[in-house]
Each structure stands twice: as C-alpha cells, then as structure tokens.
Amino acid sequence: MTEAAETASAPILDIDGARATIRLNRPRHLNRLQADDLAALTKLFERIEADPAVRVLVLTGTGRAFSAGYDLNSVAERATSAVEQESGGSAFEAVVNRLEDLGVPTICRLNGGVYGGATDLALACDFRIGIDSAEMFMPAARLGLHYYKSGIMRYVSRLGADNAKKLFLTAQKIDASEMLRIGYLTAVASADTLDREVDRLATILAGNAPVAMRGMKRAINEFARGQLDGEAADRRHRDSMRGDEIKEGIKAFAEKRPPRF
C-alpha cells in the first residue's frame, strides 16, 4: 500500500472499485486522533455508506503505528467540561460505534502498534490483520479513566471477560502473538505479506452478496450486545429467500462460476 508523505492531515479516503480505504495520516504523532479527525471520519463513513459500489472498507495508518488513540489533551479538557460529564458520551465513542455499525464489512490493517482508544477503534472493525511486530495496550487504569461502557462491552463481547480484565485492569502491553491468541487479531502477517493478506480478505468480502452480508453483520453485532431485534432478523431472512441475490447465487452455483452480485 502506497503511503503519503509525512505531512500530517485528516484521515484520507481512497476508493478503488469495490474497496474503500481510510488511512489515518498523522505519522509523526503515531496517528494520534484529534477532534477534527473524528468529524472527518464521520463524514467519510457517511460517504462510504452512500456509495453502493463500495463493498468493503479497509482502515489503516501511515507510518510505523496504526494509531496512538485519542489526543490526551482533549481527554483532559473533556474531563473538566460539565457538558461532557452530564451528556454521558463523547465524540470519540460515537465514531467508534458508527464504525462498528457500518453496513459494509470492515478490515483493520494494523500496520503497527495500536494504543489507547485506537484499540477500540480497531476492535470495532469486523476483521483485524496485523503486522507481526504490532503491539497494543489500554492505559485507562494508569490514567485514572473509567472507559466508556460501549467500549467495555465491545472488549467483553469480542475477547471475553477475562481478557478484557487483563487488558483494562493491568494496562500491560501485549505483542502480536498474544493479540492473536486472545482473538484480538484475526491473522498475523509479516511486513512483506501484510498487504497480500488484506487484499485476499478484501477480495473475498467484496465478492459476496452485499445485502445478505449487511443483514447478517447487523444480527451478529446485535447478538453480541444482547440486543437482537429478532423480528427484523426474521424479516431479512424471509426477504433473502425471494431476493435477487439468492437467485444469482443459486444460478452461479449451478453454472460452476463465481456469483456476480
């Protein structure tokens, strides 16, 4: 993947056929996210959702780290804000939750270390493929920060309560092999094979039935949160049985060719 020069900027969107790529682009500060970046990410997510040609999103970073998380100075400012304390939420939490709920499947290309809130941003993606030198840690306990509840829920539902406790309560760094063992990473790749692995998975996802995937992704996320809308899931299942996608899927299977959705 071609990376931009070291000039810092808001996240960059590139669309190539069915694949969209968002790249965090503040390499000198390990792609630490600022308030403006959160607004930019929200707009980029909206553009992706509005483009029917996009079938898969890859999220990555420029340079030697994926992201160092949200700017700590902004966290400190929010800590003294009465509005923030009373609202019970944050712009960062909203962006992470929006990423998790995107209709298209998402892959986090972890080109390096992932720290703080960025660990939750990556976890909100459906798949995470990381370089073998990657590492992660969640420093909330060291900072005196009680993490927001949707992030804790994501850690617990994706990684299990014991692993969530280890990461949140000890605030210890773990390496790529441990990230893979606990299920944080979907796969580990070398620097030479990272793009090949991401491309392989992106190609598979882009070739599958988009409406069926969107509905199943929604149901899986709702199951994980303990908030399944069973009636809506049943309705999507019934609709799929008489939709155009299943007609093409069955025809392609009979003709021994890849489906064209």
Each residue's pLDDT tens digit, 199-258: 999 999 999 999 999 999 999 999 999 999 999 999 999 999 999 999 999 999 999 999
Buried b (16+ CB within 10 A) or exposed e, 114-132: bbbbbbbbbbbbbbbbbbe
What CATH number does domain 9-206 carry, 3.40.50.720, 3.90.226.10, 3.30.70.330, 3.50.30.50? 3.90.226.10
Q: Is pLDDT at 48 greater than 70 in this prediction?
A: yes
Average pLDDT over residues 33-60: 97
Q: H or E stretch including 29?
A: none
Percent of the chain with pLDDT strictly greater than 90: 89
Q: Which two tokens stand for residue 193?
A: 């094979």
* Residue 198: both structure tokens together: 């991401």
pTM reported for the whole predicted model: 0.91
Average pLDDT, the chain: 92
Strands laid side by side in the 135-137 sheet: 65-67, 113-115, 135-137, 174-175
Percent of the chain with pLDDT over 70: 91
State residue 88's pLDDT score: 44
| pLDDT score of 2 more than 50 | no
pLDDT band for position 191 (cuts 50, 70, 90)? very high
The answer to which of 22-26, 87-91, 93-97, 227-231 has the lowest mean pLDDT is 87-91
Mean pLDDT throughout 133-150?
Answer: 96
Our CA angle for 29, 30, 35, nearest 5°, is: 70
Q: For 23-45, what is the mean pLDDT?
A: 96
81 pLDDT above the threshold of 60:
no
